Every structure is written in C-alpha cells, then in structure tokens.
Amino acid sequence: MEGSQFAQSLVSLKGDHLRYVYVLLCKMNIWDFVSLKTKDFFSKEQSQHFLTLIEKEAESLASIRDEELQLDLLLHLSKTWKLESRFFDLTEEIEKQCTDIVDDTFELMSKQFKEFDSLYESLYDHNKLDAIIHWQMKQIFDYLQDKKGENEWHLWISDILDYLHFLPDYQQEQLKEAVQISTLEPKELQKVIEKQGVLLLFTAIVDRTGFAFYKHLLQSLAEKTMKMEGQSSTTMFFSWLLNPNLLLSLIFHGGTVLYRYQNLLFNKGLIPIVILQMTLPFKASEKQGIEDLTILCDQWNERFLAYKTILRTIDRNLNVQKRLKKELDSLNKELKSMQDMKKQTESFLIQVRERLVEHIRFDENRPYFGDLTVKYNRLQERLKTLEKRQSSEHERKSGVFKSVTSYIKSSLIQTEKKQAEKKLQKIYEQMTDTVLEKYIDYEPSLTGEMKQANSKLIEIREEIQAILKEIDHKQSSLQMVKQKEKEEREKKEEAEKRTYGLKQIMKQEVEREASYRQ
C-alpha cells in the first residue's frame, strides 16, 4: 500500500513543485546549504539566497518533461539507498521500488529515533508512509519551538485552533475526547503538547480530518512569515520548507556531525524531508485520483531502448574496427612482401649493371661514345704514362737518399694513378648509361635483363604507392570509427549516470538471453 501511495504521489508531482523537489534532491549538496545559509546570515537585504538559487535551477528545467524528472527522482532515491535494479516496464515494478524506498527510509528513522516505532504502532492502519510524514511534522514543530522562538510557535498554535474551530461539532467533540481536553483553547492545547507530546495531537487531528491539516499549517505559516504574493498554496508551503536552517536541523537533528560523515548523512537525511514534500500535497488532496504510472514505464523503456541502441552502435563499431584492423594487417603484410621484392629487384639490377660495366670495360668493339670515348682514350694514355714513370722510379732505387726520393715520387704517381682510375670508372658508368639509353642492340642479353628488371621495379613501386594510399585510407577510417566509439561510450556513461541500474539490467538481460539459447 505504501509503495502504491508513494508512486501515486511521485507521478502527481508536476510543474514548479516537481522541479523544486528535483533540484533539492538531485542538485544540492551540503556545501550549497552551508554557503547560502551564510550568505543569508550576512545579507543586509535579508535575501533568501537558497530559495532564489532553487527557483533559478527550477527555471532551467522548464524544457524537460515532467515524466523525465519524475523518473529521475525515483532513480535518485533508488541510488541513494543502493536498491536492486529493476526493469520498470510494468507499473508493479515501480510500486515495488517505491515500497523499498519507503521501507529503507522507515528503517533509517526507526534506528535514529526511539519514539518512532511507538508512533508507527499507534497508527490505526500501520502505514509507514504516514508515520514518516507525522514524524517530519513533529520535527518541524520541535524546530519552531527550539530554534525559532515563541512567536512562530504561537502562530502555529493559533493556526491549529483556527483549523479545529472550522470542523463540524461532532469532530470537535471526538477530538477533545481523543486528547482528553474539555475545550479547544490555547492553554489546553499547550498542556496536551507539554504532557503527551505534539504527536498525539497531530495524529488525532489527521485521523479525523486527513492530511490537509498539515498542508494548512505549513501554508498558513508561509503566508504569515514569507512575502510571497501571488503564489499558489502548494508553492507557498513548499517554499517555507526550503528554509536552509530548517532543512539542516531536520537532516542532522540539531546536532553536530564529523566532517567526513556530513555528506553521507546529508544524502540519506534529506530523503524523509523530500518524502514529506512529495507526498503531502497528494495525501492532502480532496480529490485523490488514480495517476497513470505507465508514463514512467514509457519513459524508462524510452531510455532503455536508447541505451540498447548505443550498445548496439558500439558493438557494430567494434566489429568495423576489427575488420579494418584485419584489412590493415593484410595490407601491411602485402606491403612488406612488395618491399622485399623491390629490394631483390634493385639488388638484381645492381648485379646486372656491374656485369654490363665489366663487359664494356674489356670490350674492344664497344660503340663509339663521342666525347666519352675521347676522354677514355686520354685517360688510358695518361695511365700508361704513369705506369712507365712508376716503373722507372723502381729501377732507380739505389742509395738511401735516392730511395727516399724515389719513394716520394712513386707515392705521388700512385695517387695520381688512382685518381685517373676513378675517372675512368666514372666514364665506364657513363658509357653504361648511354648504352642503356641509346644502344638497344648492344649486348642484348644484359640490356634486356635490365630493361625487364626496370619495368618490374616501376610496377613494384607503383603497387607500393597504391598499398600505402590504401593503408592511409584505412587508418583514417579506423581513427574516425574509434572517435565515434569514444563518443558513443561517453553517451553510454552519461546514460548510466543519469539512469540508475541501466548497466545491471542490461547485464541481466544478456545473461537471460544466453540461458535461453542454451
């Protein structure tokens, strides 16, 4: 029952009220409370910085649909309590989750407050959600008594009496009998509160008039203590509940908490207050209709399908990457093979050219190469002259002085001879180039081999360039696919962050599908 009521309350939240609750629960933290409370304290204009910030944040959510924010509230509460992930494709699953939220909140309050269990046991229908609301109202009353001074406390006593005096006579009599007073006067109510506690009075009134009593008290107090002209009753009562002093008092129960525990206790301590803010308007409504929970199911399914689409996109992306990497491996192997073939062909060309150079060197019938032949003949004559001079120097060796002189001259002749031989070798190379270019029929066995090898080398180089171009194209495609994967994974992380339980639910579905295949 509590889960159904809480789910109905959640879906009934709409407009500004929904956005205020969302901002308070999902966007605020302990440091926002403390810093804005400090600003309020030191503000000369007595500004309400905290309320102003929440209003501003709420305005920024105007373009987001109500059902999106409603689902976010449910998921945030589930995450705070670390509840089991559920597939919200059925309204029953939503109600089960809401039941777990109420149960965990109830358990927390039961551990924190000794009187809380007694309150629950005293309720006629033993409704945990009602117990949470009653206790929060008791806490607010205690706050007014202890922290806000006599003025607002007396205002509330006066509001309670005003409310009771509008009740039918029979209800007034029932109430007086329930709390054991003879008249509905301020002193009588104060005695009841002092002796038996405010809970007895509050629960007795709610049992007979409903939760509209609590909404009336909060709205009336807001009207008398806050300047909020033109605001709806719901906005007014809710705005008063956004007093940071009140909220911090309700969260930490007026005590001090060690620094390292503050944020942890803040997150869970805020939930009972949020439950009050979420459920009181619904339970106080005179026309409690049946809200359609399927809008949350539709919103959940929309997110889940979008999440599955992201996962499928990532999976397809990985398959494309796998294919591209395989193609790149094949291209790199082909490139290496062609590069090896290129080295072999180049080595073969060098060998054949060396053979052709040697053939030209010793061929007396080589073609006439014009200036090259003239230079060749001159160098040959020069070499013969140098060889004769070298021989004559060897023959002159006799005596120490002559030997040294002869040695120096021989060395100079040898150096000059080597330079001539180098020039001659260069001429042979130039003759070879000329043969390959102009004398097609000269030594056809060697020139033919070189021409074939050169043609093959050109083909290999062209093939290598084509492979390199294809590799570059594949690598560019791979980088684009990887960037797309990164973007999709960012979407995945954002979806998991926003929608608590998506990852676990998807894992369960994959495991279930795997078991069916078996």
Beta carbons of 322 and 401 less than 8 angstroms apart: no
The reported pLDDT for the residue numbered 257 is 45
Q: Minimal CA–CA distance to 297: which of 95, 500, 498?
A: 95
The reported pLDDT for the residue numbered 4 is 93
Beta carbons of 240 and 220 less than 8 angstroms apart: no
The reported pLDDT for the residue numbered 421 is 74
The reported pLDDT for the residue numbered 377 is 80
- The rounded distance, in Å, linking the Cα atoms of 395 and 340 is 55
End-to-end CA distance of the chain: 40
Mind listing the pLDDT tens digit of every residue in the chain (518 residues)? 899 999 999 999 999 899 999 998 998 876 666 665 566 555 545 456 777 888 888 899 999 999 999 999 999 999 999 999 899 999 999 999 999 999 999 999 999 998 999 999 988 888 999 999 999 999 988 888 776 555 666 777 888 888 998 989 999 999 989 888 888 888 888 888 888 888 999 999 999 989 999 988 888 877 776 655 555 555 666 777 877 778 877 887 654 443 444 555 778 889 999 999 999 989 988 666 677 899 999 999 999 999 999 999 999 999 999 999 999 999 999 999 999 999 999 999 889 888 888 888 888 888 888 888 888 788 878 878 777 777 776 666 554 445 556 666 667 777 777 887 788 888 888 888 888 888 878 888 888 888 888 899 999 999 999 999 999 999 999 999 999 999 999 999 999 999 999 989 988 888 877 777 66
The reported pLDDT for the residue numbered 475 is 97
The reported pLDDT for the residue numbered 35 is 64
The identity of residue 387, as a single letter, is: E
The identity of residue 275, as a single letter, is: I
- The rounded distance, in Å, linking the Cα atoms of 40 and 132 is 30
Cα dihedral across residues 239, 243, 244, 250: positive or negative: negative
The reported pLDDT for the residue numbered 261 is 45
Kind and range of the H or E element at 12? helix 2-12
- The rounded distance, in Å, linking the Cα atoms of 258 and 5 is 36
- The rounded distance, in Å, linking the Cα atoms of 192 and 204 is 12
Q: Minimal CA–CA distance to 73: which of 87, 52, 94?
A: 94
What's the whole-model pTM score?
0.76
- The rounded distance, in Å, linking the Cα atoms of 327 and 334 is 10
By 3-state DSSP, what share of the chain in percent is helix, strand and coil, each rounded to 5?
A: 80, 0, 20
Cα dihedral across residues 172, 174, 179, 182: positive or negative: positive
Q: 227 in helix, strand or coil? A: coil
